[in-house]
Amino acid sequence: MQRPTLETVPAGRAAQREILVRARRSLAAIILGKDEQISLALACLLARGHLLIEDLPGLGKTMLAQSLAQVLGLSFSRVQFTSDLLPADIVGVSVFRADSGEFEFRPGPVFAQLVLADEVNRATPKAQSALLEAMEEHQVSVDGSTRALPTPFFVVATQNPGDQIGTFPLPESQLDRFLMRIAIGYPDAASERELIAGEDRRSMIRDIEPVAGPETLVALQHSARAVPVSDALVSYVQALVRHTRESADVEIGLSPRGAQAIVAAARAYAFVEDHSGVYPDDVQAVFAAVSGHRLKPAGSTRFRSPAELCRHVLDSVAIP
């Protein structure tokens, strides 16, 4: 795990832009043919949100998380969620040291800048909530003392939608903690061919040159939040949100927090895309990822997946 000892934080727009271009290029070299998912994952990170990847095993969920950490120079840890996972396995424990006669805190895997929570729905709600609390508070309480988590703190959780037996699906209220939920999907034929024939991905990840460090990432997050949002765009987001509340296909529409999440993600996405403001394209790009897990489709809906529903919402609302 590499970390640059001395980090020069780029302040100018051009320099930040250069970092993003390099980061995307590095990521695209490893995760083939998934430019959209890479952009969304980066945007989620820049918007200081957490990412939920829901897809079948073997599609590169872990790889995406690992390479993100590597490219951005973040400390990385991984927790495999199982049904017997305890909260202490995530946040850490205090152990008694015989030589000093004192308790010493052994930080758990959550004390990393990028935490990969694999198969988060396999653990019991108690263990899940330990992680979700850390995500929300950016700190954990162990043995009565509060310990701050590193900055930036970014959780990538994965879920396997295929099997439901022995899992504890995250309730809607907790899904809300994730800024985005994305799927990766099968690669296209050319990309798959290259994956099969090409270099070993794991060694590739190890060889990635970090393009930034934690400090730089914080600066980028700061810049992403400053992307201007015009009145016309606010109207657009409002119209989208209102449509989800009024549509017969949706049982529970987007909350104001959902609208805020859309704007925050769209800002970061616009920053990744180097737009001078948030464009409707940015909103459309993040809409399904941000609102897919926040909408509850009506039982009578003709749309089979939240993604389809989101697409339909986008196709029904005029852009002002």
Partner 1 sequence: MAGPRGTDGSLLASLPWTLAALVVSLVPHVPFLPVWITGAFLGCAAWRYLIEKRRRLLPSNGIRAGLALVCFLGVLFTYSSISGVGPGSALLAVMAALKLLETRKRRDQFVLLFLSIFLLMSSLLREQYLWSVPYMAAGVLVVMTAWLRMSAGEEQTARRSFATAGRLLMYAVPLAIAMWVFFPRLSAPFWAVPIDTSRAASGLGDSMSPGDISSLSLSGEVAFRVSFDGPVPAPGDRYWRGLVLTNFNGRTWSGPEPNISRTARGEIRPRGEAVRYEITLEPTHRQWVFALDMPTEWSLPRTFMGRQHQLARTTPIEQRVAYEVTSYTAYRTGVDLSPMYRSWYSRLPDGGNPESRELALSMRAAAGSDRAFVEAVIEMFNRDDFYYTLEPPPLGSDPVDRFLFDTRRGFCEHYASAFSVLMRAAGIPTRIVLGYQGGEINPLGGHLIVRQSDAHAWTEVWLDGTGWHRVDPTAAVAPERIESGAGDAAFEGIGETWGFTAPSRWAHQATMAWDALNAGWNGWILGYGPDTQNSFMQWLGMSDPTWRKMMLTLIVLVVGLVMLIGVVMTYRYRPPKKDEAALLYGKFVGKTGLEPRIGETAHAFGLRVCSTGAVPGTTVDAVTDAYLEARYGTGGDAARIRLRQAVAAMR
Q: Which residues sit at the interface with partner 1, rule CB under 8 A? A: 228, 230, 232-233, 275-281, 284, 314-320
The nearest distance, CB 203 to partner 1, in angstroms, is 38
- Kind and range of the H or E element at 56? none
Q: Is the CB of 57 or the CB of 320 nearer to partner 1?
A: 320
Residue the block writes with tokens 């049904």: 83
The nearest distance, CB 259 to partner 1, in angstroms, is 14
The nearest distance, CB 280 to partner 1, in angstroms, is 5
The nearest distance, CB 251 to partner 1, in angstroms, is 12
Half-sphere exposure of 104 (CA within 13 A, CB side): 7
Measured between alpha carbons, how far is 237 from 229 in angstroms, rounded to an integer?
11
The nearest distance, CB 269 to partner 1, in angstroms, is 13
Residues with Cβ within 8 Å of 99's Cβ and at least 6 positions away in sequence, in order, are none
Q: Is the CB of 7 or the CB of 273 nearer to partner 1?
A: 273
- Kind and range of the H or E element at 24? helix 13-30
Contact, 32 vs 194, CB < 8 A?
A: yes
Q: How many residues comprise the chain?
A: 320
Distances (CA, A) of 119 to 56, 59, 82, 180: 10, 13, 8, 16
The nearest distance, CB 277 to partner 1, in angstroms, is 3
Q: Position 240: which residue type?
A: L
Q: Is the CB of 88 or the CB of 234 nearer to partner 1?
A: 234
Q: Position 119: which residue type?
A: E
Q: Is the CB of 230 or the CB of 260 nearer to partner 1?
A: 230
Beta bridge partners of 148: 139
Q: Is the CB of 69 or the CB of 286 nearer to partner 1?
A: 286
The nearest distance, CB 230 to partner 1, in angstroms, is 5
Residue the block writes with tokens 């909408």: 295
The nearest distance, CB 265 to partner 1, in angstroms, is 16
Distances (CA, A) of 61 to 13, 34, 67, 211, 265: 30, 11, 10, 21, 20
Q: Is the CB of 9 or the CB of 307 nearer to partner 1?
A: 307
- Cα–chain center distance at 120: 13
- Cα–chain center distance at 108: 20
Q: Is the CB of 215 or the CB of 273 nearer to partner 1?
A: 273
Half-sphere exposure of 97 (CA within 13 A, CB side): 8
Q: Is the CB of 216 or the CB of 291 nearer to partner 1?
A: 291
